Structure 1
Amino acid sequence: MGGLLRALTLGGALILGGALAIWPGPSQAAPECREDAVYLRGDWGSARFSVEIADSVGERARGLMHRESLPRSAGMLFVYHQSTAVAFWMKNTLIPLDLLFIDARGVVQKVHARAVPHDLTQIPASDVKAVLEINGGLAKAMGIGVGSEMLHPSFGRDAAWSCD
């Protein structure tokens, strides 16, 4: 694959760098809403990530600092009690990350690709309910972009893709 991540969808399965993640296809039931998982969907297809939740001030401040690796199908979901302006940086973060900024309806509003480890430059966004951090370059490789919808219990009944 020449150092380039490639995604291939086959009847409800995603094969990505040797990892396999199952998600519901159009004819299958909706996925189960769980605190420890997020589902994303869009014109590009669908994906599932196992997530750690950062919903307190301390957890959000620590984030993924000092981690030497992150499994490809994993991430960290920063959840805010209400929509707010945020600014992230990569202080003490050892791996490149993609940051997906998500509004109160669970829709990706901004993607910051390949944030540079240890960079202190702020990465801002406004009107954010959640931020998903995943491995750097993965959003582009999978096609995840602005307009993609997230399924997670943090989003209410008015979400674009609701748990209800």
Structure 2
Amino acid sequence: MTAFVCAPPTPLAPRRTLAAVLLAALLGQPTIAVRAQEGPQLNLQRVELTAGMHRIDAQVAASPQERQTGLMHRKDMPQHEGMLFVFEQPAQQCFWMKNTLLPLTAAFVDDDGTIVNLADMKPQTLDSHCSAKPVRYVLEMNQGWFAKKNIKAGAKLTGAPFSRK
């Protein structure tokens, strides 16, 4: 799946992190190691959404780690499944496809379930795909799913996340 980013990482970023951990260890300071997910996350909570008459079984990526890993490393995904990214507050959300093997379409979704814009994303690229306005939700589906169902910007998704007041 995709990872939420504002800018592509620099090649030195992993080294800086390792250097900071080593320096803290040498100075006797406690450190918290966060290991990046190396395989697909398949056991996230799920929510049922609908787009018109079409049912979507969506995994929910709500924590920063879940959102960062997203659909990375997945080799396949059933056509009726997707991943719903849930953020704490509306903001411009930007996604990329690092370590993501599947071509995906991201639907940037307003609080009421209205699709603001759609973005087709190529696998294993660092191109940014952003929401046209601040949103709290992003739904990723297999590329072509929205087009095959004739679902476009302005269409409404329904389900528990969009029922909140």
Which stretches of structure 1, 4 residues or more, deviate above 6 A after TM superposition?
none
State whether structure 2 residue 70 is matched by structure 1 residue 63.
Answer: yes
- Give identity over the alignment, percent: 34
Name the counterpart of 2:139.
Answer: 132
Alpha-carbon deviation of 1:156? 3.8
TM-score, structure 2 normalization: 0.69
Take 1:156 and 1:74, find their aligned partners in 2: how far apart are those partners?
Answer: 20
Q: Which runs of 5+ in 1 are unaligned?
A: 1-33, 159-164
Q: Which runs of 5+ in 2 are unaligned?
A: 1-44
Name the counterpart of 2:116.
Answer: 109
Structure with the higher strand share, 1 or 2: 1
Name the counterpart of 1:99.
Answer: 106
TM-score, structure 1 normalization: 0.69
State whether structure 2 residue 48 is matched by structure 1 residue 37.
Answer: yes
Alpha-carbon deviation of 1:150? 1.0
Matched AA of 1:37: E
* Number of equivalent positions: 120
State whether structure 2 residue 152 is matched by structure 1 residue 145.
Answer: yes
Alpha-carbon deviation of 1:157? 4.8
Name the counterpart of 2:19.
Answer: none
Structure with the higher helix share, 1 or 2: 2
Name the counterpart of 2:89.
Answer: 82
The answer as to whether partners of 2:95 and 2:129 remain within 8 angstroms in 1 is: yes
The answer as to whether partners of 2:118 and 2:153 remain within 8 angstroms in 1 is: yes
Give the CA RMSD over aligned residues: 1.5
The answer as to whether partners of 2:115 and 2:153 remain within 8 angstroms in 1 is: yes
Give the match's secondary structure for 1:60. Answer: helix
